[in-house]
Amino acid sequence: MIKPDWIALDWGTTNLRAFAMTKEGRVVARASSDAGMGSLAPDGFEGALLDLIADWLDDRRMPILAAGMVGARQGWVEASYLSAPTPPLATASLATPSTADARLDVHIIPGVSQARPADVMRGEETQIAGYLRHDPDFDGVLCLPGTHSKWARISAGEIVGFRTFMTGEMFTALSQYTILRHGLGTGWDDEAFITAVQDGLSHPEMIGARLFAIRAEGLLDGLLPDMAHARLSGLLIGVELAASRTWWLGQNVALIGAEPLSLHYQKALHQQGVIAPVASAEDMSLSGLTAAHAQMKGTS
Amino acid sequence: MIKPDWIALDWGTTNLRAFAMTKEGRVVARASSDAGMGSLAPDGFEGALLDLIADWLDDRRMPILAAGMVGARQGWVEASYLSAPTPPLATASLATPSTADARLDVHIIPGVSQARPADVMRGEETQIAGYLRHDPDFDGVLCLPGTHSKWARISAGEIVGFRTFMTGEMFTALSQYTILRHGLGTGWDDEAFITAVQDGLSHPEMIGARLFAIRAEGLLDGLLPDMAHARLSGLLIGVELAASRTWWLGQNVALIGAEPLSLHYQKALHQQGVIAPVASAEDMSLSGLTAAHAQMKGTS
């Protein structure tokens, strides 16, 4: 293969995704592994990276830009947070782990923190930068659904403020490690989802009772597993929308996420009268890493 | 030892507790194991029981009364639900598993179900019966905190209606299987607990954001693990109190539960101006099983 000009890494808690990039910002190869930050000790990162990208290297020193939890305190090397309000990227603040292999020239993008209310992001700032690369004048709210969904106010190219909701991780923990696991399918039911979004939005305090009702209706009324699955998802998203109302009501909202979750949020928002376009999280990550690479080279 | 007159079993999802009882209702021996319903196949129950109580048997046929998840569909034999409104006990409806060992004369107490909203209990009805044995004229609300907390309206010796909240299981799933596990201690902080109860009560919709804030404050502000633990507990109990407001506001409330959880609920309710006495769940179980035994023998 053509050796890349530089390498982009989306290095999260559970996965490592690598992109071999040309000077022009084209992807010539992709690779991924489950060597996420969560499964690595500090001295394991270099080996995990080489395992994935060794074929892309020659004798030259290779510029590598990484975003995500790789820069956390438990990661390879800590990349200090930028403090909101802030532009999403500041390549002057990149963290640089030392490597045994001299060909690796690794730089990690800092996350963003907020003092009050206390909040942090790592990786999403790069997706936001990617979104702003395509729409530099965006003024509104970006919602990034996921394990920890983020709502970020964007104005004048800056992250003005943001708030994280543990919705995705609550879904996983509740569906896998509670009694609900006995009655959840992997299929979907749009009507059950939308009804549950409305339930969550209108009575968020009922979450604990509504969760148990999924189980009770399974036992007493034969609630179908796919409906139970859609209802759990809708209930949690509805509660998030109840809390984030001021972030979307009458606002210019766009979503950045992976399907199908981002489409569920889109549907839930649409039902509240909010038309939110969806951008792919992977595309926005790559676009943000490309923006960071250009900024680092001073060509931005 | 003196051979018991009968044996009481509190047989839940995770534990089996056995009590050797005299004719007069005195406990002469106790035993317990982790042979809960959740870890047993239907043909495993008899063996698990014999493992625990073999020493208490002689040649006679031994009356054994059991309450709890042992009577669930996935249990030893299904004990159909009584339908609320109902007295908590109806020994005419006991389920009787067949046993290979002719000395075992086992009877399982039915749970209680409710059609709208769909809800179920198994085991708590026996604790409620135990409470009513000591206070037959109780008119008010019994709250039974636990994995699945129950709020039950009691009047004229009947369970009029009830509602289950998945609070305890949410606490376990969130504290063990999410990012929160990195920052939770095993200690306690009363002030952090009470503040979190108020937060959960006044803004239950913020649960997802407040959960993540526990993590973010750990990272940014050095939130202490014991405070994080108390805050998680208080937040979830506060959300439950927001949803159960009509069950406790201006009501005559008593708690049945295990310490320390029942004392946390007591403190949270007290802060809302509700003085709720606490009865021990184990004592109430045993008292309810004793009531069932008397009722079965026609001496009630």
CA-based nearest distance A48→chain B, Å = 23
A178-209 in b/e form (b: 16+ CB < 10 A) is bbbeebbeeeebeebbbbbbbbbbebbbbbbb
The rounded mean pLDDT for chain B is 96
Q: Which of B87, B94, B151 is nearest to B119 (CA)?
A: B151
Of B169, B209, B240, which has the smallest distance from its Cβ to A164's Cβ? B209
Instruction: Read off the pLDDT of each residue in B67-79 and give the average, rounded to a whole number.
Output: 95
Inspect the interface and report whether the beta carbons of B178 and A174 lie closer than 8 Å: no
Q: Rounded distance, CA A81 to CA A122, Å?
A: 8
Instruction: Read off the pLDDT of each residue in B36-52 and give the average, rounded to a whole number.
Output: 96
The per-residue pLDDT for range B196-244, each reduced to its tens digit, is 999 999 999 999 999 999 999 999 999 999 999 999 999 999 999 999 9
Q: Rounded distance, CA B92 to CA A149, Å?
A: 52
Cβ contacts below 8 Å, chain A against chain B, sum to 131
Of A120, A206, A236, which has the smallest distance from its Cβ to B220's Cβ? A120
ipTM over 0.90: yes
CA-based nearest distance B215→chain A, Å = 8
Q: How many H helices and E strands in chain A?
A: 9, 13
Q: Which residues of B touch A211 (CB under 8 A)?
A: 166, 170
Q: Which residues of B touch A166 (CB under 8 A)?
A: 178-179, 208-209, 211-212
Q: How far is CA B35 from the centre of its chain?
A: 17
Amino acid A300: pLDDT: 44
Q: What torsion do the CA atoms of A269, A271, A276, A277 make, to the nearest 10 degrees?
A: 120
Q: Which of B4, B61, B18 is nearest to B282 (CA)?
A: B18
The count of other CB atoms within 10 Å of the CB of residue A42 is 12
Q: Which residues of B touch A209 (CB under 8 A)?
A: 117, 163-166, 243
Strand order in the sheet with B119-121: B82-83, B112-114, B119-121
Instruction: Read off the pLDDT of each residue in B38-42 and give the average, rounded to a whole number.
Output: 93
Inspect the interface and report whether the beta carbons of B148 and A177 lie closer than 8 Å: no
B92 confidence band (pLDDT: 50, 70, 90) = confident
What pTM was computed for the model?
0.95
Amino acid A131: pLDDT: 98
Per-10-residue mean pLDDT, chain A, length 300: 92 95 94 95 96 96 97 94 97 93 97 97 98 97 97 98 98 96 96 98 98 97 97 98 98 97 98 98 97 82
Q: Provide φ and ψ at A16, rounded to 5°.
A: -120, 120
Q: Which of A236, A242, A234, A255 is nearest to A191 (CA)?
A: A234
Q: Which residues of A touch B217 (CB under 8 A)?
A: 118
Amino acid A197: pLDDT: 98
Of A113, A166, A217, which has the smallest distance from its Cβ to B208's Cβ? A166
Instruction: Read off the pLDDT of each residue in B158-184 and give the average, rounded to a whole number.
Output: 97
Q: Which residues of B touch A115 (CB under 8 A)?
A: 220
For residue B299, pLDDT over 70 is answered with no
Instruction: Read off the pLDDT of each residue in B110-122 and give the average, rounded to a whole number.
Output: 97
Q: Which residues of A touch B206 (CB under 8 A)?
A: 243
Strands (DSSP E) contained in chain A are 6-11, 16-21, 27-33, 62-67, 82-83, 104-108, 112-114, 119-121, 140-144, 149-155, 158-165, 253-257, 278-280
For residue B46, pLDDT over 50 is answered with yes
Instruction: Read off the pLDDT of each residue in B157-177 and give the average, rounded to a whole number.
Output: 97
For residue B300, pLDDT over 60 is answered with no
Q: Which residues of A touch B73 (CB under 8 A)?
A: 219
A interface residues, B as partner, C-beta within 8 Å: 73, 113, 115, 117-120, 148-149, 163-167, 169-170, 172-174, 176-179, 203-209, 211-213, 216-217, 219-221, 236, 239-240, 242-243
Q: Is B193 buried (19+), middle (13-18) or exposed (0-12) by CB count in 10 A?
A: buried
B91 or B73, which is more confident?
A: B73
Inspect the interface and report whether the beta carbons of B208 and A170 lie closer than 8 Å: yes
Closest chain B residue to A121, measured at CA: B216
Amino acid B91: pLDDT: 83
